[in-house]
Amino acid sequence: MMKGFIVKEFLHIFRDRRTMLILFGMPIVQVLLFGFAITNEINNAQIAILDHSKDNVTTAITAKMLASGYFQLNKQLESSDQIASVFQNGEVKEVIVFEPDFAQKISKNHTAKVQIITDASDPNSANLLASYTSAILMDYVGEFSSIRPLPVNLSTQTSMLYNPELKGVFMFVPGTITILLMLISAMMTSISIAREKEMGTMEVLLVSHLKPLQIIIGKVIPYILLSFVNALVILFLAATVFHMPMNGSMILLLSESMLFIIMALSMGIFISTISNTQQTAMLLSMFVLMLPTILLSGFIFPIENMPVPLQLLSNIMPSKWFIIIVKSIMLKGLGIAYFWKETIILAGMMSAFVFLSAKKFKIRLA
């Protein structure tokens, strides 16, 4: 009985060109798009330097910065009056200011000040530039300290710690997997169930002695399989095209993905129970699932940069937790011991949605 249902569902998918395009074209396009075009990666950012001391230390730091390939010196500034104008002209993204007598202060007081000024009208790249700069400064301090001990007065962002090459694409792959799994699992199932309602075939299914649970399972199994295939395709692309590291256990990653897929599917079923047409299902999936997933999961905008209310809101986004898990496995190679909390949160959300959607689906038949 179930076999026929699943076969039918696959036929729907394979016969509809748009569905096929969304299922198999989109993952590839999205991965390539995010990987190549929309990365936060920084190359040759224009900077200006205001060096009040011009000694051997500041020259060394400047040389190190420029040698990194992330920055390109646009201008040497002579006074602080010029700072505002170079920003206003849009010539530079960042200005670095070394205080006077830099080398002397380091050798005497073991401390010196560097001011990093960024153009925060583009907060993401500003944030990144500042992190890159302080990372390079820290690096220099590290080299310096190996010669003689020196107190450190600069702080660096630990988020860079596991992405030493500062490759933005590594941050995008986990987000892209999350978005696509959400899209395929939740949106496609909700649309396909809403379609049966719209066409009137759902009534016939319900009049037959198929149990509601059997209908749900029959609907969902093809999408579980396809989502899984998609996850593999994305991982393969990430590994081959972008040389994304896979430091952790593949089995762990796939099982966590399964958890997320099932959660997204039950969200999709839930959406389909409250929408009667394919269009409603699609709009609901878009606004209730996709946009918050993209905006609030930390995929594009760092959660720590958000206002507190949004930070709190981001906690109810399943994708936030899934992204953390994927990053931990792929980039840091960590085991479940390090993200059991996230896993439990995800599992909790999954059970809640499975329960809700099963309940809601039954009520509709009564």
Give whichever of 93 and 197 is closer to other proteins, judged by the CB atom.
197
Query: Rounded to whole angstroms, how far apart are CA atoms 151 and 46?
Result: 30
What is the contact mask toward other proteins in residues 174 to 203, using x (rule: CB under 8 A)? -------------------------xxx-x
Token reading at 64 = 């190190």
Query: Rounded to whole angstroms, how far apart are CA atoms 216 and 262?
Result: 12
The CA distances from residue 163 to 83, 159, 167, 172, 244, in Å, are 31, 8, 7, 12, 11
Q: Give the nearest distance from C-beta 225 to other proteins in angstroms.
A: 19
Token reading at 75 = 């201008």
**Which of these, 257, 290, 269, lies nearest to 177 by C-alpha position?**
257
Residue among 4, 149, 164, 307 that touches other proteins (CB under 8 A):
4
Q: Give the nearest distance from C-beta 17 to other proteins in angstroms.
A: 11
Does 213 bind other proteins (CB under 8 A)? Our answer is no
Give whichever of 16 and 55 is closer to other proteins, judged by the CB atom.
16
Question: Which residues 10-39 are close enough to bind other proteins by CB under 8 A?
Answer: 11-12, 15-16
Residue among 66, 106, 138, 206 that touches other proteins (CB under 8 A):
206
Q: Give the nearest distance from C-beta 68 to other proteins in angstroms.
A: 56
Residue pair 191/219 in contact (Cβ under 8 Å)? The answer is no
Residue among 155, 158, 209, 308 that touches other proteins (CB under 8 A):
209
Q: Give the nearest distance from C-beta 354 to other proteins in angstroms.
A: 23
Strand 71-77, strand 94-98: pairing = unpaired
H runs (alpha helix) in 25-183: 26-32, 56-67, 81-88, 102-109, 123-147, 168-182
Q: Give the nearest distance from C-beta 13 to other proteins in angstroms.
A: 10
Enumerate binding residues for other proteins (CB under 8 A).
Answer: 1, 3-5, 7-8, 11-12, 15-16, 199-201, 203-210, 365-366
